[in-house]
A and B are shown apart, each in its own frame.
Chain A
Amino acid sequence: MFLLLPFDSLIVNLLGISLTVLFTLLLVFIIVPAIFGVSFGIRKLYMKTLLKIFAWATLRMERGAKEKNHQLYKPYTNGIIAKDPTSLEEEIKEIRRSGSSKALDNTPEFELSDIFYFCRKGMETIMDDEVTKRFSAEELESWNLLSRTNYNFQYISLRLTVLWGLGVLIRYCFLLPLRIALAFTGISLLVVGTTVVGYLPNGRFKEFMSKHVHLMCYRICVRALTAIITYHDRKNRPRNGGICVANHTSPIDVIILASDGYYAMVGQVHGGLMGVIQRAMVKACPHIWFERSEVKDRHLVAKRLTEHVQDKSKLPILIFPEGTCINNTSVMMFKKGSFEIGATVYPVAIKYDPQFGDAFWNSSKYGMVTYLLRMMTSWAIVCSVWYLPPMIRETDEDAVQFANRVKSAIARQGGLVDLLWDGGLKREKVKDTFKEEQQKLYSKMIVGNHKDRSRS
């Protein structure tokens, strides 16, 4: 019993010392630079080291697989089947040509073989379609030492397992507590800071303080996730009275964009912690928060957005027109609401590098807390942000065409696939109007020709 006492105090001392060291590290290397917006470059160094380790790990796995003469599972981003990109008309004409012996005149009509086209197209979509795979995390080409992305577990050598174990230790025992502490600091500073600024009288000083409090807290949150962000074309950053649109991959997008610019947020009023943050932020500068019932009323939403935009002293609005989280390999249909308002649109493209941690939030699979934990136990979140030049709606364009134009620009810049499908397909079925279009095309082939025949 007595022997334990000196050991006890030793342990307590050690604990105390390590905690102090941790906090000093935190303060000096992370929080202070965040306040002033400078960076030591530690994160970039970390990223380079990790890349080298990943390349080595993949080599070892390939070598191991070759020794055992098995095939490695290689993921395909372009789909698993070989498809011919031909149109409905061409395909059906070809089918008929190969089937019938009579010379191809310009008035072919319905043939029994037409069914093959639809049948095959249908089967192809069952095997692989463009939309379903956008709602699950992207598959990686090389392994990044996280068990959650590994499909080839049986080919790991001892060295690799040791490395993986080391990685787990570092991520869970060192990085995770650090990040949680930072996140906690960031959020509490945000709430406290904005409330304090809210008590100041309206004026230039209040705006200045509000801007810097917001920026500082977002920068701390960025470091809490170890997000390594590269901004391109910062001269195109959104200005007052404009709307900033970006592609949506996860709630972290907000933090990433807001740490580099000062925006007004748009969103639903939540309860709990989010609600506290929302109410505090509004005290410092005007954001647009909607009650749940107001969200359904599109005119009300449009009216409030327009009011905000027309007041030139108010901040640019940040909107994600896709409406839901997509897995960052493609951009889906933009909802036209924000494009009807007639303000200048500043498009922003965000592309994540999934090797260090996949930022996609699969809301049907993970809840918010699980998602944040996964983010904090990945290596890092690496992304690039491109600010595109501002766009205005032309006089002969309607809102939908304008939205598509902006979408293509974002997709092109970010290297994403531009899809016409609606992100809402995640949860609902597709509308019948699309089916009618296919039917229209086909009937033109068999009946449009019929008309010719009856004439001749």
Chain B
Amino acid sequence: MWNLFFSLVLSASYGSTLRYKSVERIKAVGKHSLIGASGEFSDFQEILRYLDELTLSDHMWDDGNSLGPKEVHSYLTRVMYNRRNKFDPLWNSLVLGGVKKGPKGEEKYLGMVNMIGTHFEENHIATGFGNHLAIPILRAEWCEDMTFEEAVKLVEKCLLVLLYRDRSSINKFQIAKITTEGATIYPPYSLKTHWGFAAFENPSKGAVGSW
């Protein structure tokens, strides 16, 4: 049974200020997919409106067919690339994942598309600083048949690194999971951090300066 995982920080910025601290950046799309976004939040809201229209008309067909993650990813790629070509991009990096039962069994899908229309499919995707800090960990430690608990542990490891090292991160996370049964977006939670290092207790000790 395939699970697909998303995790993100619940913050939205105003320029370089971390202004909003309870913003959910993951949403379910149709019956089979999840979308997560980083970047300009208002553009993400616009994308969600497009996806709403898409999934609604798909649902109204009521003919046994439904849009799977691959179709949604392809659609978003077309939208993002077209906007880039008009020099009016939607300023987001989108992660699109899902599981859908196909004729060859359960087909899982995870892909990303960004503001310039670059898109690909992979077993692990990250946006922003995640590309530099989380992907190396995932490449080393991900494997095809992890359990749910193992996957959460791995993802939390990545989130912790990001929390310590990415200045625009806060200690408030959310995990979402998608299986053939549907999507579950878990409530926000925090990770345990350790700041009790000697250097932090007296930060200016040993500092060299002119005053």
A complexed with B? no
Interface residues of A (CB under 8 A from B): none
Interface residues of B (CB under 8 A from A): none
